[in-house]
Amino acid sequence: MDSTDIVLPDRELWPNHVAIIMDGNGRWAESQGLPRSEGHRLGANAVQKVVEEMARLQMGCLTLYCLSNENWKRPEPELQFLMHLLQHYMIEQREGLLKHNIRLRILGRQTGIPTEVWQEMEETKRLTRENTGLQLCLAINYGGRQEIVDACRAISARVASGELRPDQIEEKTLAAHLYTHDLPDPDLLIRTAGEMRVSNYLLWQISYSEIWVTHRCWPDFAESDLHAAIVDYARRKRKFGGLKQG
């Protein structure tokens, strides 16, 4: 389906923050008789399409699950390729990020990321930090439980120093110490490749996110799929645990 076949709803019905679990790169490659690395390479092309489309639509925030902390269990050659691809992406996409007024953010721990890759990530963040359009957040070496642990450690340190009392800790306290402390929670969570799980992704933040799943593997995900997700989201009645009025 061409993206022009889908009519988007009124803008006030759109999600502001979209989070995506980009699943199925390896499965797509295997189904085509190709090495898994080819699936990852074409998956990067899909990232560029979706990022640029969200920037064109002037949406607020896109968070992509690029590498989980569990992914380090994968074979070493695949991990090396992923790191090379990430480094290449950071360099290659700078011009486009600046052109489209996109600000890059990184969510996750630095531990395990090769120094040269981390440096390129930091440089791209630096170059785009004054951009005021779409915020592109890449979850790299990320895990939802890990993020909550890091937040608890930071809060514990404040308690130990006497800066904060235990009875002062509330939900907003923990939220303020997450990697996403200055971002709105995702309105819409998209998962590709038909899997029906959240895979330790943004566990705190997606408490009330709407979920949209497609059987398409990530390399096949296109602008029209994003549009379809927006249309479906606009039909939802979000109640946040209460009753919808009217």
- Reduced 3-state DSSP string for 182-245: CCCCCCEEEECCCCCCCCCCCCCCCCCCEEEECCCCHHHCCHHHHHHHHHHHHHCCCCCCCCCC
Active site annotation includes 71: yes
Which residues of the chain form beta strands (DSSP E)? 17-21, 61-68, 103-107, 135-142, 188-191, 210-213
Task: Examine the residue annotation and report whether 16 is marked as an active-site residue of this protein.
Answer: no
10 Å Cβ neighbour count for 116?
A: 11
- For 1, the token pair is 């389906």
Separation of alpha carbons 13 and 16, rounded Å? 9
Q: Which of 5, 71, 131, 225 is catalytic?
A: 71
Task: Give residue 74's identity as a one-letter amino acid code.
Answer: R
Q: Residue 156, SS3?
A: helix
Active-site residue among 23, 185, 187, 225? 23
Which active-site residues does the annotation give?
23, 71
